[in-house]
Every structure is written in C-alpha cells, then in structure tokens.
Structure 1
Amino acid sequence: MKLLELRPDRALLKTNFDGYKLTLEPIPVLRTELTEQMQPDRVRPSEQQFSCLHAQVFGLQNHLVRDPWAAGNCYFIDRSWIIRQIRYDENDGRLRPLSSAYKLGRKRGPRRSGDYNCTLLFLSEKYALIADGQGSLVVVDTGDRQRGGEWKEKFIFPEIEELNEGFVLLDGRFEIVNGERQIHAIGLSVKQQQTEAGFESYIYWLKAIQAPDSNQEWTYHSLRVLEGRGFPSYCALEPKGAALIVVSDKPFQFTKDSENPILPAAEQATTDNQEQKNGIVQSPCCFDWTQTLDDIVIKIPKEEEINYRITNENGILKVVREEVTILDGEALFADVDPELTSWTNEKHELQITLFKKNAGTMWPFLIAGGPEEVRDGPANEEDMPPVSNLTSQLEECDFGMEGQEQGTEYTIERLDVISHECSHKAFLGNNAPLFAVSLRPGFPLALALRQDVDGCVWLQQHTGGPDWSLRHEGTLHAFGYVQASKRQRKFMSCSPDLDYAVICEAERHVFIYKSSYGGTASGLRNRNGPQVSIGQQKLVTLEGSGEILGICCENDYTILLTETHILVLQLRIEE
C-alpha cells in the first residue's frame, strides 16, 4: 500500500486573500411554482431506518441532477415518477417550460422498510442510469439531450438478492475496454448487522457489457459488494473501472466479487505460505510505540538466543531480527530527524527514540499495517490539536463538527479490483470532505477538501499501471473556514470554473462566495501593509418555497429545487 500526501499547488493558492466582503446588491431570482403532481418525489426514512447512516443517505441526497454534457439542463423525478427536464436559456435569461423526458416503468407500490429515493445518473452523451429505490436499475438511451425528446429503455439489470431492499446511485461510468462496451454502476444501501446491534453501509458495484458481436444487446456481467461501518462521503470509480475510490471515517473492504472471486482465508494462508517458501517474507510487527507532540518511543521485546541488529545508515533506521526486517525507517508515516535518533539495547528490551521533523503533530500510525499506538488514557487525547498549519490560530470549528466521535479519522482509499486490497491511501484528519462536483464531462467527480482555511478541489489522476494520485485542480479561497461556521448547512457546491461556491441551508438562506470582488476592489492595500485581495459574499433569502431539495451550479447561474418551486439565481446579470 502506498501512502499519499496531498500537497496543494502553491500557484493555485492566494496567500494575500483577506476574506469576503458582504454586498447588499440583490440577485435576480426567477421563480416557477410546481403543481402538486409535478413536485419532487421524496421518500422519508421509515421507523426501521433510524440510524445515523440512514440520516445521511436520505438527508444529503441532491434531488436535482445536473447534466454535465448539456449546460443549463438539469432533471428531477416528480411524484408521478416522471423525469422532468429543467432548461435555462442563457441567451434570453428565461426558464423554458418543464418537459417530460421519461416515465419509470412501474409505480411505487406499498411502502417497504427498505425503500430509498429514486436516483438518476448520466453516464455519457447517450446513456443514463435510473434506480427506483426499490431494487430496480435501468439503462436508458437518452438520445440528443440538447434537443430534447423521450428516452428509451435499453437494459434492465436482473433481480439480485442483495439488492431487493433498494439502494441509491453514487456513481457510474460508460467505458470501452478492448472493444467491449461496459456500464458500471455504484449503489449504496444501509442494512442492520446480523451478529450485533448496529448498521453497516453496503456498496454494490454492478457491471453490464455489450460485446462487439452481440447485436448491440446489453447483458448483465458481474456484481461486487463492499462493506463498511462508516458512510462513504465520496465514492467514485476510476476510469476503465480498475478501482473504486472511497472517502470515509471507517474502512471498506470487498466481501464478494462474482467476476474475480475473493480467496477464502484458508486459501489465502496457503498462498502466504507459498510466498514464504519463495523468499517473500512479511515483516512481523512485534513492538509497541507511543508518541508525544515532539517524539516517538518504540519498545521491542527481545527473545533469548535471537540476534537483533539496529542501524541508522544514511539517516534511515533499520531494525533486523534474525535477517528479517521488523522496522524500516523508509516506511514511517512522516520524516524524523536522523541526527537525534537514539536507542538503548538492554537485556530484555530494545528501546528507540525518534524525534519528528515536523514537531507539534500527532501521527495516525507509525507504519502502514503496523500495531496501533499504546495510549496511556483518553484524557490526553482531548488536549491534542489537529494536524494543521501551526502558524494559524486554532478556533472551535477546527476541532471537528458537533456530535462527531472523538478520534474520527477520514481517509481516501483506492480499492483495487484485482487484489481486493487498498493500494493507495491518504489521511485527511478529522475534517470530512466538503463536497463532490463534476468539473468536466466524462471525468470522475472532483473532491473538495479543507486545507487549512481554504477549500482545495482535487481530481483523480491515473496514468496507467500502478501509479495513481490526486491533482490539485483549483482553490476556493477561505471556503474551508467560512463553511465551518455554517452549522445549518445542507448542500455545498461550486461552479465548474471554480469562480464561486454556494452553501445552502435547509430552507431559507443561500450563501454565495465569489473569490473576486468585481474589478474595483480585487486589490486593496492595508494602511501599513502589503496589497491584499478580498472576495464577495452574497446572501439570498427564500420565502415561502419550502425545504431546498437540490442544487445545480453553472458558471453564470445556480438552479435550486425546493418542495414547491424551481428557482434560478442569476449571478452575472448585476455585474
């Protein structure tokens, strides 16, 4: 497993950014009222869906689906199970009348405890996925969505036992691999554990193929299942379907793969023994370790008649036990100061002291896959600040959200489809991802993460082979700081050109943050200091529209879907 360090591109940061200035200029708002039958279809959790995971699945779903291939077009599903198209004409600044694109094949039957909301996902200029929340998944041919027209059903995934209770769509891709057309779909459901009280998240990876000699017929191919006790804040496929990228506070792992079966534990043990015979030896992690903000102490118990050797050549620490390396300095979580490294070799114990190069931070682990830190007690954890820029002042919002478990650690994991293991991993600390957004058609969803006070937007970068990383695509200046103060936030998003970001509360308020203040105040000068840059904050108050159920951001405007209205915020008209 390779550990990744997310280093922002300094060229995309604005060190002289000095915050946002509130402007009272009104934003033109177009309002269209929806009839009762055309109001958005919405399923609320049942009495059996009471967990925190259920609350996130139902409460954070965006019911307004943006079409990345057709700017200005977005869709929602109404109470009659008809997919409605919203089209905004930028030339005359008006909303076109709502049109019907597709009617789901079967109506909602009696309410079941496992039902979820319907979800829609666009795969390409031609194909889309529709899940009805009751276990049915359909591939439709949308034709030319710019011109409009009715969609046609192309393929229905067969009924699968694991999916009978319903799911929501998280991601999907249309790929052509070696002349074979493939459709990948990622679904999510929450189920109660059978062995103990509690709930788990289940991620389903379905695949359909269209072989070159199949007369354009789609066929079901395989199903993969992943399980985890956390909520996937971000879940996206890698191009070509080689891996799944998951961001969560708890790890996920493959439990089923009908295409590439997972080896049982006994067979895996046999494989491991064969590797040992071939000279591939896994290093045993037979040591304990503790840490402070400045140093790390490692204690290795010694066995009689066993030879231990420790070296610190070229600044790289190595501990060898009978020709087997049990500790390699190159695998440490972060760098240490080799000149201050020391150790004592006693009769029953080998003790090593390392000093961190970046003092003042707590390491989440010593080496990947190694033993956890030995803690003296939970009282010490409360005084430990998060890993952050230590030159900036810490505030209450820097210590995570209210109600968050102590010690919550978010990670980015790349789960490889062949090995079923985590091939790449990055640690995010206790700050959950801000949001995911589509920047360009056909590309994976970009991920917005808090980096100190900023919001950095990252995009997958896969060059083929084992190399995989995240590229810093752009920065929402000071957005990581301002969003932390909005405790009532429901949706967050940004425009594809990253010119502005939006925070929506559940009902009334919409906050808009633009990184530049027009052309008049983009560069201000402190009375006794260097030139600074400020942004523009706008506030839109919505009255009598009900709860906000969805948001769609374009470069010049934002479309909102509420319980009773469609709203368009025209952001560039006043400039």
Structure 2
Amino acid sequence: MFKRQFIPDKNLLNPKFDGYKLSPTNEKECVTRTSLPNGSDLRMNKFMANHRLGFRDLQARVRLNHLAYGFPTSTNKQQQGVAFYVDLEFQLMSVIYNKETNETHLQPIVQLIQPLGNLPNYSEPSATLPSDPYSPSLISLNSELLLASNGAGYIELVHIRSGTVIASTRYDGDGSEGISPVPCVLLDAQLVGNKIVMMAYSRVASKNTQFNISTLEMSADSNNNNTNDLITTLNIQRGLEVPTYCAIIENGERFILGSESPYEKFTSASTCDDNDAIITDASTPGATTITKTPKSSYSWTQDNTDITVQFILSPNTPKSAISCQFNNTHLSLIVRDDQNEISYPFRKLWSLVKADDCTWTLESDGTLTLFLNKQDQHTRWPHIFDIDDGVMETLDPAKLAEITERLEKFTGNDANNNPTVQNPVATDMDEDIDDKGEPIRFAIYDRLGQCIEEIYSGGCEWLCKAFDCEKEQEQRQGEQIPSICVKVDVDGQIYKFLKEEQGERNNLQTKHINTFDAFGFVQASKRDSRFIYYDPKFKFIVIIESSRNAYIYYHHDDKRSIETQKLVDLTRGEDVNVVGCQLLLDNVLVVLTETQVITIQI
C-alpha cells in the first residue's frame, strides 16, 4: 500500500540546460484588455473585511482560482473559448473570447443565490463556528452544464445555454458545525449518468484550523424539486490543509487527494456509546451497523531517548501481515489479515525520530511493539502523532506522581499564593506557518472513504498542475487522471498517473512524461507566486503574481541549453489583484483581475 513510485526518466532530463533568456513582449500585438462591466468589479476586500483567518484557511482562499474553464461548444471549437466567473453581486458571467477577431465579450448568464449576510451583530457565536463565507467556486461539467457554489453553502446546477438553474441544493457539512448551510468550496466534479459526483471542502467546527474534504453525490434530475433529496454525503476526510490536488476517477468510484499532511476518515459517533464505532456496510448503501471497538488501538510509553508503542494482535499473527516503515517525520503501519486490520498510512509523528534506529518486533502472543528513537532527546512527547488522536501515555503511578510534582511549580501558586505566570508560548500554539517543503503524498479512496492505496513521492515537493483544459482534452481521449508537476532537484518534472492491472483491482503507478528544466529553481526564487500552471501540451509553464506580473517560461523537447522567458505586466501598477487565470483554445492565456479580463497570445 505504501509505495515510492516517482522514478525519473533519465532520457527526459537535460543536464546541459543553462537557463532562461528574457525576450521582449510586444503587448500591442499579443495582449488585449477588456474592462469588467461598471459596478461589477471583483475587489475581494469586500469579502475579507473584518475576518480573522488561520494561515491554512487564508492560503486556500488566496489560491482559489476565480476563473473557471468552460468546455468549448461543438461549433467554433477552434475559434471560440469560454470561461466563467461570479461577480460580487453573485451574477454568473461568461467570458467569450473569439480568436479570429481577438475580441472578448462578457455576458451575464444567471443570478446565483445571494447570501443574506453574516450572523446578526447582537449574537455571540462560538469561536468554533465556521461562519466566514468563501468566495464562489465554479466547475464545468460539459459544454452545457456548470456546477456553482455561492461560497455560503448553496450549490446550484446551471444550464449554460438557457441561462437557468435546473437544480439547487445545500451543503450541511458533518452536522457539528452549528450552522446550516455550511460555507464550502468546490474542488472537483464529474457528471456520471444522471448523478453529479463532487468534492468540496469546508471548515471544521474547531478552534484549530481543520478542514472537511467531503465527497458528495447530487441528482442532476431537473424534475426533482425536493432539495433534501438532491445531495448525499458519501464520505468525509478530515485534515489540516486543503488538498493541492484533487481528482475524481473511475466514474466516481475512487478519489485522489494530494497533500503534505494526511487525512483521517470522519465518522460521526453521536449515536454510539463511547466504546462504539460506526462501520458502513458496503453491501447495503446507506446502511450502518454498530461494532464494539476499543477506545484506543495501542498503548505507549516513553523515556528520555525512546518511545515504545504496543499493539495487541491476534495470537500467531504472521509477520507477512505487517508492513511497517519509518522515516524521520512519519510512520507507516499496515496490518492486514483475517483477524486484524490496523491502518496508519504515512502518519506524521509529533516530532522527529532517528529512522535508522527505529524497529519493530512481533511476539507469538500477538504483541506488536514499535521502538522509536527520538532525535531531540529529553523532550517529552504529549502524543504520538502530529494530530492528537486522544491516546494518552501509559504511566505507572510512581512516574505519574513524579511528573505531577515537577509541574506544580508551573501550574500552582507561588509563595505569596499568587498564580504562577506562564510564558504564552506554553499555553498558546499557533499554526506552523513556516513549515514549508514537506513532500507531497497522494492517497486513493473508495466511495466509502477507505484509503485503499497511497503513493509517496519519495521526497518530491508539490509545484503545480496543468490548466483545467487538460480535463476536457482527456475526456475526448477516454477517462484519464490529470497530471502533476513536482520539484525534483532543480527541475519541474511532469508525472502521469496510470492504471496497472494487479489481481482484482487496478493499482496506480506514475510515469515521468516531461520536464520543465530548472523550473523548481525558478519557482523557489519567486516570493509572490499566486497561480502556477502548465500547458497540457508542455509548451510553456506560467507563474502569475498576485498583483503585478505574469512570467511565461517556454519549453521544447530538443534539450536546448537556453529557453525563452517572457514577462507581461498585468496590472500596470494599479492597486488591484489578480484573481484567476485559464488557458483557452490553443496558446491563449486569459487572466482575470479585479477590474479587467486580459488575454495573452502565448
């Protein structure tokens, strides 16, 4: 299940590459600008005023592409490109570019459900209430249908040509948020028969920033007027970040999430006792059974240098049923046989360990013991994993009394019976905003949310994905999975996910298919990189800043030592933000700012 599959193809590397040479851009010939209609600009500060957001939440909002790709119609497919955005009045707008005339037209399509606003000012909501709205998000399903979320929890299916909403529903989250509908953002969607399978993210009702990644199924039947019957939650994954890569594959039977940190399946246990867990019965859709399971699947203890973790398995469990691997930051433990099933797929540890000194043993009575050697000795771990799963350290009474006595000077009163003053660092932990450079990992889930496979990049860092037009191109060629670009050394290497027949199921493998020379080095040198995308035909890759320039880096397959770089000044010094970009037709880049639509002939 745990694999290192990112293997570079040496034939696609260019060790003789020397760099990029800046080439002047004649903006009069290749750049056109179209102002947004009066009174409908996209100055996003209206959305963000007076909201305090965690770093991961703010990061996801900044990365949101407000310009959605539109599938070309059967007529004028090579001459007319379409994209969509939503203005601040929640009017769905189309951007229609004509390549023959080099003109851009903006047309309204339909009015989306407009939120009434935030909570009334006389209320005092809980600090965990995820009431901050998101910006609208859009995903094209085909040339006729568009899925739209207004950012405040309502999801609508729009028929583009007629300009009508043919289905509307609401997202209710996991039921614990204390608000309904729950603000959400669409990640991916796919039309499967008369159903729409989609993935969306929302904030968890928690003081710490966490996200629910929900897989939903919505009816596309325009005759169904009952909004409660339109949408079904298939599963929810919970994690610390919004995935940088999300794909629905195999007609909605499997899903891929790419992220730096892992996700855990969320299961509501509100109807169970403390020792119960809800297990979904795969044979009967929607049915659940309650199965008795222990509160914790392991116990652990520690000293100054080592941590000992124990799992109790069935007697005479074979070693072949156990897959256990360590690295300095993560643990991967899978136990699979007829009597045991333990799954900790690539879980991040609370702190660093010395992977070479970690080991595990299995005794005949079924006791599985992991020995972790700390890198930072004399530091006590509060829990095993980065995300606290509630399993407390096992301590003997004498050890517990010793620790309690040592902590009294920090938690008790001083000689004058005044509370001891603590350093704020000891009581207030912010999100780690400087934790950069984590390797990307990909997890494959089934419809029930079970992680059935993982692909670890072997230390590669995430760079970007292709423009959304890749999805439309792949649908014409049969069902495939969007490619990715990861940083390997100084290069940006493109990998494709491929199916490999093994037994009764298809496993995924990765194949190195192209390379953007030295792009990993180039990207690292940019302090402002709001959008990064590459052409699905690998002719160029682009970095777009949040408020100024677009950098275009060209690529050829002849392994030349010098490639061309172009720069386009998008905002010309105006105090506006870039909020979206898409590739339309062939080599036509469309950039959306808060006041203009800019088309660039690449």
How far did 1:167 drift? Answer: 0.5
| Residues in 2 aligned to 1:103 and 1:233: alpha-carbon distance in whole angstroms | 30
1:53-452 alignment to 2 at 5 Å? 53-69=56-72, 72-95=81-104, 97-104=105-112, 106-111=113-118, 113-142=131-160, 149-158=161-170, 160=172, 162=174, 164-176=181-193, 181-193=194-206, 197-209=207-219, 219-256=230-267, 259=285, 266-267=292-293, 276=314, 296-297=356-357, 321-322=363-364, 374-377=374-377, 404-405=434-435, 408-418=438-448, 420-427=450-457, 429=459, 431-438=461-468, 439-441=470-472, 442=475, 443-452=480-489
Deviation of 1:61 (Å): 0.9
Alpha-carbon spacing, 1:46–1:428, altered in 2? closer, same or farther (3 Å):
farther
Distance 1:320 1:491 in 2: 49
Deviations 1:295-342 (A, max 9, x none): 934566xxxxxxxxxxxxxxxxxx774498979xxxxxxxxxxxxxxx
8 Å contact kept, 1:256–1:262 = no
Distance 2:449 2:136 in 1: 33
In structure 2, what is the equivalent of residue 509 of structure 1? 549
Q: What secondary structure does 1:53 align onto?
A: helix
| Deviation of the 1:564 alpha carbon | 0.9
Q: Structure 2: where are the runs of 5+ without partners?
A: 74-79, 120-130, 175-179, 269-279, 299-310, 330-351, 380-431
Aligned to 1:3: 3
Shift of residue 452 of structure 1? 1.9
Which amino acid in the other structure matches residue 14 of structure 2? K
TM-superposed CA distance for 1:466, in Å, is: 3.7
Change (3 A) 1:421 1:168: same
2:296 and 2:90 map into 1 onto residues whose CA distance is 52
Report the number of matched residues: 460
Taking the aligned partners of 1:256 and 1:124, their CA distance within structure 2 comes to: 33
- Matched residues in 1 for 2:296 and 2:545: separation? 55
* Partner SS for 2:41: coil
Determine what percentage of the aligned residue pairs are the same residue: 21
Q: Partner of 2:115: helix, strand, or coil? A: coil
- The separation in 2 between residues aligned to 1:541 and 1:88, in whole angstroms, is 20
Quick check: 1:13 aligned with 2:13? yes
Structure 2: which amino acid aligns with 1:173? Q
User: For 1:288 and 1:556, how far apart are their aligned partners in 2?
Assistant: 45
Q: CA deviation at 1:75?
A: 1.0
**1:35 corresponds to which of 37, 52, 72:** 37
SS in 1 for 2:59: helix
Say whether the 8 Å CA contact 1:502–1:511 is kept in structure 2: yes
The corresponding residue for 2:415 is none
Confirm whether residue 462 of structure 1 aligns to residue 474 of structure 2.
Answer: no
Q: Which moved more, 1:277-286 or 1:83-92?
A: 277-286
What displacement does 1:192 show? 4.4
State whether residues 149 and 184 of structure 2, in contact with CA within 8 Å, keep that contact through their aligned partners in structure 1: yes
2-structure distance, mates of 1:253, 1:320: 26
Deviation sequence 1:201-247 (CA, Å, 0-9, x none): 11121102469x999x9843444211112331222222322222112
CA shift, 1:422, in A, is 4.6
Higher alpha-carbon deviation: 115-124 or 64-73: 64-73
Does the 8 A contact of 2:234 with 2:447 survive in 1?
no
What secondary structure sits across from 1:434 in the alignment?
Answer: strand
- Residues 1:24 and 2:24 are matched in the alignment: yes
Describe the SS at the equivalent of 1:482: helix
Equivalent pair of 1:233/1:433 in contact (CA under 8 Å): no
SS in 1 for 2:134: coil
Give CA-to-partner distance per residue, 1:351-370, whole Å, 9 cap, x none: xxxxxxxxxxxxxxxxxxx6
Deviation at 1:187, TM superposition (A): 0.9
AA aligned to 1:494 is Y
Please say if 1:475 is aligned against 2:515.
Answer: yes
Aligned residues of 2:237 and 2:449 also touching (Cα < 8 A):
no
Deviates more, 1:37-46 or 1:127-136: 37-46
With over 3 angstroms needed to count, the CA separation of the structure-2 counterparts of 1:12 and 1:294, relative to structure 1, is farther
Give the AA of the match of 2:182. E
Deviations 1:475-501 (A, max 9, x none): 222211111100111111122312011
Q: Deviations over 1:157-182 (max 9, x none)?
A: 25535462311111111124xxxx33
Opposite residue 229 of structure 1, the aligned amino acid is L
Distance verdict in 2 for CA 1:297–1:166, change over 3 Å? closer
Q: Which amino acid aligns with 1:115?
A: P
Shift in Å at residue 503 of structure 1? 0.7
Structure-2-length-normalised TM-score:
0.66
Tell me which amino acid in the other structure corresponds to 1:414.
I
The match for 2:594 is 563
CA–CA distance in structure 2, aligned partners of residues 159 and 22 of structure 1: 48
Distance 2:542 2:134 in 1: 27
Structure 1 gaps of 5+ residues are 143-148, 301-318, 328-369, 380-401, 517-521, 524-530
1:46-103 C-alpha deviation (Å, 9 max, x unpaired): 54542012211221111111124456211111223222111222223222x2122222
Deviation digits for residues 180-202 of structure 1 (CA, Å, limit 9, x no counterpart): x3311111112342xxx411011
CA shift at 1:377, angstroms? 4.7
